[in-house]
Amino acid sequence: MKLVSIITVNYNHSHVTDALLDSILLENAYPNIEIIVVDNNSSINPVPDWELKYPSVFFIRAATNLGFAGGNNLGIVKASGEYLFFVNNDTVVTKNLVSTLVNTLEMHPMIGVISPKLLYYDHPTMLQYAGYSKMNYYTARNTCIGQFEPDNGQYDQLNGATGFPHGAAMMLTKRAIDRVGMMAENYFLYYEELDWAERIRKAGMEIWVNMQATIYHKESISVGKQSALKVYFMNRNRILFIRRNAHTIPKLFFYIYFITIVAPRNIFSYWKAGEFGFIKQLGRAIWWNITHSVNSNELGFKA
């Protein structure tokens, strides 16, 4: 049985990561795994305690906060598996999750990345992800299929190709990573897994979802509170994704759409809510894309 490297990233929530590790060690039925945890320079170093509590797990302590992409890339360097399974630290695995995904990859060698069904941990019969629709490059919008719907098996027939994997749980082949490289770290957070999937697709491999494999995600079903960090990177990286992946005509259309519709709408929304600092972050996000190349590692965020 081929080795699977399970990689997760922690930042200031070691108790959440504890629950994931307990879940993997107690529930997972696939025998040939290695577990790699990357701590993204949490304010309190959890690694010494982890090493005592979980002696079979590999721990890496980053010198700085590398973000979602950089933390996972650090895990890739350590990984020895033929398959690499990236999971958020706020997930809970199920017994046959890993084996089901591995079997699918073995049967369909054209797959580069595959995600399982995601259900909300606090609402275990509610779907979070059953695949993604294709990206509309004129507006940089797509749809997460099934989100917030009761799971009545209505999407079980969707096993196969999908628009994008879900960043909370995605298994890649080593062959795919060797061909396209690691995640682009200049995204820092948001859109990096979509960009990775685009590179995998353009390299001739497929993006799949397997609805027979299930993982539970502790993410809230509520939208979540906005923050300066989120406003900046969501807007910056939406533009960056189009710059990196769209062809000329849809790219030009998107620029016009973003400046004439998206930006004014968001500015009005922030102004109405009294969040004037968010207007500044939106301006910074746009300015970063005007003044930086698509491969620039300068993040540009200022609180």
185-218 confidence digits (pLDDT tens): 999 989 999 999 999 999 999 999 999 999 999 9
The model carries a pTM of 0.94
Q: What is the pLDDT of residue 174?
A: 98
In contact, 33 and 8? CB cutoff 8 Å? no
In contact, 168 and 88? CB cutoff 8 Å? yes
The predicted-structure confidence for 32-56, as pLDDT tens digits, reads as follows 999 999 999 999 999 999 999 999 9
Domain edges within the chain: 4-217, 228-291
> What gap in Å lies between CA 57 and CA 35, rounded to an integer?
5
4-217: in CATH 3.90.550.10 = yes
Is the pLDDT at 147 greater than 50, yes or no? yes
Q: What is the mean pLDDT of the chain?
A: 95
CA nearest to 190, candidates 160, 148, 226, 161: 226
CB count within 10 Å of CB 281 equals 25
Higher-pLDDT residue of 303, 218: 218
Average pLDDT over residues 226-247: 95
* Rg of the chain over all Cα atoms, to the nearest angstrom: 19
In contact, 284 and 302? CB cutoff 8 Å? yes
Percentage of the residues of the chain whose pLDDT score is greater than 70:
98
